[in-house]
């Protein structure tokens, strides 16, 4: 992805993860949230008591020493379109300054509407800043979405992506390749759906288990098994084969939190798993889009 950003902006660009202090509709009013999610909303708790500008400055100072001059403000934690419209507008605009070239907003399919997108579009035009949205699908199997308590359907995801694309916002979708109940057919169907919707990018995740989540309790009680690393590699390869070659791959495997992780990536590093996926692609003489019929 760093190569794509360099092509787009002409130099190295660093993504800066922000905690805007939002919550999630799937965890309110007694709801337990997604079964794989804990109360931190992705394991990201850094800077919880800092303003947006303070967070950005702390991180920019670090990377500017390394020669980085351009940055993406990435609203990562929880659901970053889930707040009153004036709060959202103030939060987004607080992140804008001369070296921020893009706002990246992570959210859920059921928390996107025209009023919010009209406001974000106005920010884009007023400040001449690029806008992208990270939107979680996780699984193309709508039965799995119910089982893991996602709180939205496949149809809502499709609606949200179509609405985002109508504004010509960049859309990056998140998919977990090995959720319990999913098989390789679901993985392939997910690649086809993303291709049909013409999303711009995809982040693939392996399921990791964190303490404090419902999956965490199930795992500790022996009621949840995670598939093998070999199975994950085969699913990643099948997904890539059936994904449009026009879609940028941002990530091939998850990055579990440093603390509180009960199970993560089979004891391997991200680099090791990426290397294994690339090795399998070479062994099969295959590549992204080889089996794709939807472009």
Domain ranges of the chain: 2-283
In which band, very low, low, confident or very high, does the pLDDT at 228 lie, cut at 50, 70 and 90? very high
Q: And the tokens for 7? A: 């092509």
The CA-CA-CA angle for residues 278, 279, 283, to 5°, reads 120
**What span, in angstroms and rounded, lies between the C-alpha atoms of 113 and 163?**
8
Identify which of 216, 223, 176, 258 has the alpha carbon closest to the alpha carbon of residue 38.
216
**What span, in angstroms and rounded, lies between the C-alpha atoms of 177 and 104?**
23
Phi, psi of 210 (to 5 degrees): -110, 145
**What span, in angstroms and rounded, lies between the C-alpha atoms of 6 and 21?**
30
Q: How much is the average pLDDT of 162-185?
A: 97
Q: How high is the mean pLDDT of the chain?
A: 93
* 245 DSSP 8-state letter: T
**What span, in angstroms and rounded, lies between the C-alpha atoms of 7 and 191?**
25
CB 48 within 8 A of CB 19: yes
CATH superfamily of 2-283: Aldolase class I (3.20.20.70)
3-state helix, strand, coil split of the chain in percent (to 5) is 40, 15, 40
Q: And the tokens for 86? A: 């004036």
Q: And the tokens for 92? A: 């987004």
**What span, in angstroms and rounded, lies between the C-alpha atoms of 102 and 167?**
16
Identify which of 237, 235, 226 has the alpha carbon closest to the alpha carbon of residue 265.
226
CB 119 within 8 A of CB 88: yes
Torsion on CA atoms 141, 144, 149, 153, rounded to nearest 10: 20
Q: What is the pLDDT of residue 34?
A: 86
Q: How confident is the model over 56-109, as pLDDT tens digits?
A: 999 999 999 999 999 999 999 889 999 999 999 999 999 999 999 999 999 999
**What span, in angstroms and rounded, lies between the C-alpha atoms of 241 and 281?**
9
Q: What is the pLDDT of residue 189?
A: 97
CB 133 within 8 A of CB 84: no
Among 10-19, 27-36, 72-81, 120-129, name the one with the lowest average pLDDT: 27-36
């Amino acid at each position: 992805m760093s190569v794509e950003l360099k092509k787009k902006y002409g130099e190295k660009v660093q993504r800066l993860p922000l905690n805007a202090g939002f919550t999630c509709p799937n965890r309110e009013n007694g709801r337990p949230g997604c079964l794989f999610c804990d109360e931190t909303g992705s394991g990201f708790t850094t800077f919880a008591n800092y303003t947006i500008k303070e967070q950005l400055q702390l991180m920019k100072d670090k990377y500017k020493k390394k020669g980085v001059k351009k940055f993406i403000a990435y609203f990562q934690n929880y659901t970053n379109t889930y707040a009153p419209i004036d709060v959202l507008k103030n939060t987004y605009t607080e992140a804008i300054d001369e070296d921020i070239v893009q706002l990246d907003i992570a959210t859920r399919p059921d928390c996107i509407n025209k009023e919010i997108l009209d406001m974000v579009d106005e920010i884009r035009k007023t400040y001449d800043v690029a806008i992208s949205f990270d939107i979680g699908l996780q699984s193309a199997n709508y039965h799995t979405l119910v089982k893991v308590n996602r709180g939205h359907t496949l149809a809502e995801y499709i609606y949200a992506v179509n609405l985002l694309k109508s504004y010509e916002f960049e859309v990056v979708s998140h998919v977990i390749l090995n959720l319990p109940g999913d098989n390789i057919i679901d993985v392939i169907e997910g690649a086809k759906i993303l291709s049909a919707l013409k999303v711009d990018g995809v982040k693939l995740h392996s399921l990791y288990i964190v303490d404090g989540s419902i999956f965490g309790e199930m795992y500790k009680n022996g009621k949840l098994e995670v598939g093998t690393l070999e199975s994950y590699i085969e699913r990643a390869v099948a997904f890539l084969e059936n994904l449009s070659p026009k879609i940028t791959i941002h990530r091939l495997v998850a990055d579990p939190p440093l603390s509180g992780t009960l199970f993560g990536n089979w004891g391997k590093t991200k680099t090791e798993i990426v290397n294994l996926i690339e090795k399998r692609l070479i062994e099969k003489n295959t590549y992204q889009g080889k089996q794709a019929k939807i472009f």
